[in-house]
Amino acid sequence: MDKILKAHGSGGKYTHDLIKNLFVKHFCNDPLSELQDSAILNFSGNKFAFTTDSHVIRPLFFPGGDIGKLAVCGTVNDLAVCGAKPLWLSCGMIIEEGFEIANLEKIVISMQKAAEESGVIIVTGDTKVVESGSADGLYINTSGVGVIPDNVELSLKNVQPGDSIIISGNIGEHASAIISAREEFNIETELESDCASLNSLTELLIKKIDTIRIMRDPTRGGLATTLNEFVENQKFGIRVFEENIPIRNEVIGLCEPLGFDPLYLANEGKLLCIVGQDDANKVLQILRSFSIGKNACIIGEVIDNPNGRVLLKTRIGSDRVLDMLTGEMLPRIC
């Protein structure tokens, strides 16, 4: 592979290989090689989480959100799933010449609203304007810093066979909303992006539950890819039950004709966590007390054999492998 392809940005295997074989190889340092959603940094006795995320999305406004809300929530979530309390965000904007200022203001207002709701402040920023035609309207980069409470130690090392896998709600709705908002597919749905900040959920979980092993937000590459990230090079595997995975009918309806699989569709406001089996019901209760967690479900369990793999127990009752996303998802005829 000698050129960057779209698939390198899709969050699947291409992305992983690029990160490993290029960035980690050259930047090479301890916090980075953990490859967490945020880097965990120790500084004068305190633990911080630090993360950055660039947002490129078309259309800029979509049902359930816009690029601004997405940029704030995305970064807040990357911090939150590391167990941090998000505090400060930056905002870097790359704007195409000719962009409507009214639209820019809408986006900025939406960022501020999302920031307020997540309890963070946007403390620094940068603006670059590029020639018309060299950017797709607007790109936003946000970085964020959060503090991690002393006793919090989330790590895949703590995962044990028998642990429960929990998702905070219906999957695939962000990607579905985006697909139906795009003209070229000519699809109408009432689906909205699930774009939301997860820090209220994660902060409460960490306070109340001792056996939270690890948390993630399954964005690009979807649930299947995040589950695979959990088991990669580990001594355990995961089995999820097709029947228990919450998916709205409309999402399935949208996916079938295009040959897409909801398990690989991006989410922007879902929490996926591994917790001790005995605490699973308590976790569900907590998640379900939030409106964005009302459809939370236990979808699977940690197994010791086979390790390093995700199995899906189909509704018919047989196990099959659930792999990472490979390549970009394209509408297909066969």
Partner 1 sequence: MTIEKSDSMNYIEEYRDSKITRAILQEIFRHNKFINTNYMEICGGHTVAIFKHGLRDTLPANIKLLSGPGCPVCVTDISFIDEAIELAKKKNVIIATFGDMLRVPGSYSSLMKEKSTGADIRICYSAMDSLKIAENNPDKEVVFIGVGFETTAPAIGVTIKTAKQKRLQNFSVLSSHKTMPNAIRALLDADEVAINGFICPGHVSAITGTTMYDFVAKEYNIPCVISGFEPSDILETILMLMKQTNTGEAKVENQYTRGVKKEGNLKALEILNDVFVPIDIKWRGIGLIPSSGLGISRRYSEFDTRKKIKIDLPLPKEISGCICGEIMRGVKTPKDCTLFAKVCNPENPQGACMVSAEGSCGTYYRYMPDMKK
Partner 2 sequence: MCLAIPMKIIKIEDNLATAEISGAKYKANIDLVPDVKIGEYIIVHAGFAIEKLDEESAMETLRIWQDVADFHDNREKR
* Footprint of partner 2 (CB under 8 A): 180, 186-190, 249-250, 252-254, 256-257, 259, 332-334
Other Cβ atoms within 10 Å of 241 Cβ, number: 17
Contacting residues for 280 by C-beta, under 8 A, at least 6 apart: 164, 166, 298
- Find where tokens 């962009």 sit: 99
**Binds partner 1 (CB under 8 A): choice among 20, 128, 235, 320:** 320
Q: Which of the choices partner 1, partner 2, none does residue 120 contact, using the CB cut-off of 5 to 8 A by kind?
A: none
CB of 274 vs partner 2, minimal distance in Å: 31
Nearest-angstrom CA–CA distance, 313 and 318: 6
Q: Which two tokens stand for residue 122?
A: 């946007």
Q: Considering beta carbons, is residue 17 or 256 the nearer one to partner 2?
A: 256
Do 159 and 274 touch, CB atoms closer than 8 A? yes
Contacting residues for 329 by C-beta, under 8 A, at least 6 apart: 10, 260, 264
Stretch that binds partner 1, among 84-92, 110-118, 197-205, 325-333 (CB under 8 A): 325-333
Q: Considering beta carbons, is residue 316 or 334 the nearer one to partner 2?
A: 334
Show contacts with partner 1 in window 152-191 (CB under 8 A): 184-186
Does residue 133 interact with partner 1 by CB under 8 A? no
CB of 51 vs partner 1, minimal distance in Å: 27
CB of 306 vs partner 1, minimal distance in Å: 6
CB of 140 vs partner 1, minimal distance in Å: 25
Which of these, 111, 102, 104, lies nearest to 68 by C-alpha position? 111
CB of 223 vs partner 2, minimal distance in Å: 19
Q: Considering beta carbons, is residue 3 or 26 the nearer one to partner 1?
A: 3
Q: Considering beta carbons, is residue 170 or 180 the nearer one to partner 2?
A: 180
239-258 footprint of partner 1 as x/- string (CB under 8 A): ----x-----x--xx--x-x
Three-state DSSP class for 80?
helix
User: Listing from the earlier edge strand, what are the strands of the sheet with 138-148?
Assistant: 39-43, 46-55, 138-148, 85-96, 121-130
Nearest-angstrom CA–CA distance, 165 and 275: 7
Do 265 and 189 touch, CB atoms closer than 8 A? no
Burial of residue 207 (CB within 10 Å: 0-12, 13-18, 19+) is: exposed
Q: Which of the choices partner 1, partner 2, none does residue 161 contact, using the CB cut-off of 5 to 8 A by kind?
A: none
Q: Write a three-state SS string for 13-39.
A: HHHHHHHHHHHHHHHCCHHHHCCCCCE
274-313 footprint of partner 1 as x/- string (CB under 8 A): --------------------------------x--x-x--
Q: Considering beta carbons, is residue 104 or 187 the nearer one to partner 2?
A: 187
Distance of CA 261 to the CA centre of its chain: 17
Which of these, 298, 195, 175, lies nearest to 248 by C-alpha position? 175
Q: Which of the choices partner 2, partner 1, none does residue 45 contact, using the CB cut-off of 5 to 8 A by kind?
A: none
Q: Considering beta carbons, is residue 94 or 329 the nearer one to partner 1?
A: 329
Does residue 7 interact with partner 1 by CB under 8 A? yes
Nearest-angstrom CA–CA distance, 111 and 70: 8
Stretch that binds partner 1, among 75-83, 135-143, 266-274, 324-332 (CB under 8 A): 324-332
Nearest-angstrom CA–CA distance, 270 and 223: 9
Q: Considering beta carbons, is residue 3 or 315 the nearer one to partner 2?
A: 315
Q: Under the rule (CB under 8 A), what is the footprint of partner 1? A: 1, 3-7, 13-14, 17, 184-186, 243, 249, 252-253, 256, 258-259, 306, 309, 311, 314-321, 323, 326-327, 330-334
